[in-house]
Protein backbone atom coordinates (compact mmCIF):
# COMPACT_ATOMS: atom_id res chain seq x y z
CA UNK A 1 0.00 0.00 0.00
CA UNK A 2 2.83 2.37 0.78
CA UNK A 3 4.27 1.82 -2.72
CA UNK A 4 0.95 2.69 -4.30
CA UNK A 5 0.66 5.73 -2.05
CA UNK A 6 4.17 6.76 -3.08
CA UNK A 7 3.20 6.51 -6.76
CA UNK A 8 0.04 8.53 -6.22
CA UNK A 9 1.98 11.08 -4.19
CA UNK A 10 4.55 11.37 -6.98
CA UNK A 11 1.79 12.06 -9.49
CA UNK A 12 0.18 14.61 -7.20
CA UNK A 13 3.52 16.29 -6.58
CA UNK A 14 4.22 16.46 -10.31
CA UNK A 15 0.86 18.11 -10.95
CA UNK A 16 1.19 20.53 -8.05
CA UNK A 17 4.84 21.23 -8.82
CA UNK A 18 3.82 22.92 -12.05
CA UNK A 19 2.04 25.64 -10.11
CA UNK A 20 3.96 25.64 -6.81
CA UNK A 21 7.61 25.35 -5.92
CA UNK A 22 8.73 21.82 -5.02
CA UNK A 23 9.56 22.89 -1.47
CA UNK A 24 6.05 24.28 -1.03
CA UNK A 25 4.51 20.99 -2.20
CA UNK A 26 6.56 18.93 0.25
CA UNK A 27 5.72 21.39 3.03
CA UNK A 28 1.99 21.14 2.20
CA UNK A 29 2.10 17.32 2.33
CA UNK A 30 3.97 17.41 5.64
CA UNK A 31 1.48 19.92 7.04
CA UNK A 32 -1.48 17.79 5.92
CA UNK A 33 -0.07 14.70 7.62
CA UNK A 34 0.78 16.69 10.75
CA UNK A 35 -2.80 18.00 10.92
CA UNK A 36 -4.19 14.50 10.44
CA UNK A 37 -1.90 13.00 13.07
CA UNK A 38 -2.80 15.67 15.61
CA UNK A 39 -6.54 16.01 15.05
CA UNK A 40 -7.80 12.93 13.18
CA UNK A 41 -5.53 10.01 14.12
CA UNK A 42 -6.74 9.77 17.73
CA UNK A 43 -10.04 8.46 16.32
CA UNK A 44 -9.26 7.27 12.76
CA UNK A 45 -5.80 5.89 13.60
CA UNK A 46 -2.44 6.93 12.14
CA UNK A 47 -3.04 4.57 9.18
CA UNK A 48 -6.63 5.73 8.72
CA UNK A 49 -7.99 2.28 9.55
CA UNK A 50 -10.47 3.50 12.17
CA UNK A 51 -8.39 2.02 14.99
CA UNK A 52 -7.21 5.17 16.75
CA UNK A 53 -6.41 5.14 20.44
CA UNK A 54 -9.83 6.67 21.24
CA UNK A 55 -11.87 4.59 18.78
CA UNK A 56 -13.01 2.09 21.40
CA UNK A 57 -14.81 4.93 23.20
CA UNK A 58 -16.80 6.09 20.18
CA UNK A 59 -20.17 5.02 18.85
CA UNK A 60 -20.59 4.72 16.01
CA UNK A 61 -17.01 3.66 15.39
CA UNK A 62 -14.79 6.00 13.35
CA UNK A 63 -14.80 5.34 9.62
CA UNK A 64 -12.08 3.09 8.20
CA UNK A 65 -10.65 5.49 5.61
CA UNK A 66 -8.59 2.74 3.95
CA UNK A 67 -11.78 1.23 2.49
CA UNK A 68 -12.60 4.39 0.58
CA UNK A 69 -16.30 3.90 1.30
CA UNK A 70 -18.24 6.99 2.35
CA UNK A 71 -21.85 7.60 3.23
CA UNK A 72 -22.16 11.28 2.28
CA UNK A 73 -21.35 11.90 -1.37
CA UNK A 74 -22.78 13.41 -4.50
CA UNK A 75 -21.71 10.49 -6.70
CA UNK A 76 -23.47 7.28 -7.68
CA UNK A 77 -23.71 4.39 -5.24
CA UNK A 78 -20.45 2.46 -5.12
CA UNK A 79 -18.36 5.34 -6.51
CA UNK A 80 -15.81 7.37 -4.60
CA UNK A 81 -16.91 10.76 -3.30
CA UNK A 82 -15.62 13.95 -4.85
CA UNK A 83 -12.98 16.01 -3.08
CA UNK A 84 -15.75 18.56 -2.47
CA UNK A 85 -17.83 15.87 -0.72
CA UNK A 86 -14.94 15.07 1.61
CA UNK A 87 -14.30 18.76 2.22
CA UNK A 88 -17.97 19.27 3.14
CA UNK A 89 -17.83 16.40 5.65
CA UNK A 90 -14.60 17.68 7.20
CA UNK A 91 -16.03 21.20 7.36
CA UNK A 92 -19.48 20.33 8.75
CA UNK A 93 -18.76 17.15 10.70
CA UNK A 94 -21.46 14.50 11.05
CA UNK A 95 -24.20 15.26 13.58
CA UNK A 96 -25.10 12.31 15.80
CA UNK A 97 -21.56 10.93 15.62
CA UNK A 98 -18.26 11.90 17.19
CA UNK A 99 -17.06 13.43 13.88
CA UNK A 100 -16.76 17.13 14.74
CA UNK A 101 -16.91 20.12 12.46
CA UNK A 102 -13.47 21.44 11.55
CA UNK A 103 -14.89 24.69 10.13
CA UNK A 104 -12.56 26.63 12.43
CA UNK A 105 -9.59 25.40 10.38
CA UNK A 106 -8.60 27.53 7.37
CA UNK A 107 -9.95 26.08 4.13
CA UNK A 108 -6.41 25.46 2.92
CA UNK A 109 -5.82 23.14 5.90
CA UNK A 110 -9.11 21.35 5.31
CA UNK A 111 -8.09 20.85 1.66
CA UNK A 112 -4.82 19.30 2.87
CA UNK A 113 -6.83 16.92 5.06
CA UNK A 114 -8.90 15.90 2.02
CA UNK A 115 -5.67 14.90 0.28
CA UNK A 116 -4.56 12.86 3.29
CA UNK A 117 -7.94 11.11 3.51
CA UNK A 118 -7.78 10.26 -0.20
CA UNK A 119 -4.25 8.92 0.22
CA UNK A 120 -5.51 6.13 2.49
CA UNK A 121 -7.46 4.56 -0.42
CA UNK A 122 -5.49 5.62 -3.52
CA UNK A 123 -7.04 3.05 -5.88
CA UNK A 124 -10.50 4.27 -4.95
CA UNK A 125 -9.58 7.85 -5.84
CA UNK A 126 -7.51 7.05 -8.94
CA UNK A 127 -10.32 8.12 -11.28
CA UNK A 128 -11.92 11.54 -10.94
CA UNK A 129 -15.37 11.30 -9.36
CA UNK A 130 -18.31 12.86 -11.14
CA UNK A 131 -21.28 14.11 -9.15
CA UNK A 132 -24.76 13.04 -10.18
CA UNK A 133 -26.44 15.74 -12.24
CA UNK A 134 -29.56 17.02 -10.54
Helix (H) or strand (E) holding 10: helix 2-17
- Reduced DSSP (H G I as helix, E B as strand, rest coil) percent helix, strand, coil of the chain, to 5: 50, 0, 50
pLDDT at residue 5 greater than cutoff 90? no
Choose between 33 and 1: higher pLDDT.
33
The pLDDT of residue 20 is 52
Question: Based on C-alpha coordinates, what's the Rg of the chain?
Answer: 15
Q: What is the pTM of this model?
A: 0.81
Residue 122, pLDDT above cutoff 50 = yes
Contact between residue 70 and residue 63 where contact means Cβ atoms under 8 Å apart:
yes
pLDDT at residue 37 is higher than 60 = yes
Output the CA–CA distances (angstroms, integers) from residue 106 to 78, 87, 91, 102, in the order listed: 30, 12, 10, 9
Amino acid sequence: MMRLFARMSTLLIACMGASMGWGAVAHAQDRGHALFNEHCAPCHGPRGDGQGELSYLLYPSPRDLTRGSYKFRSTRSGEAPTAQDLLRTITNGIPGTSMPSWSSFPESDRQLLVGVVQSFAPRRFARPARPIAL
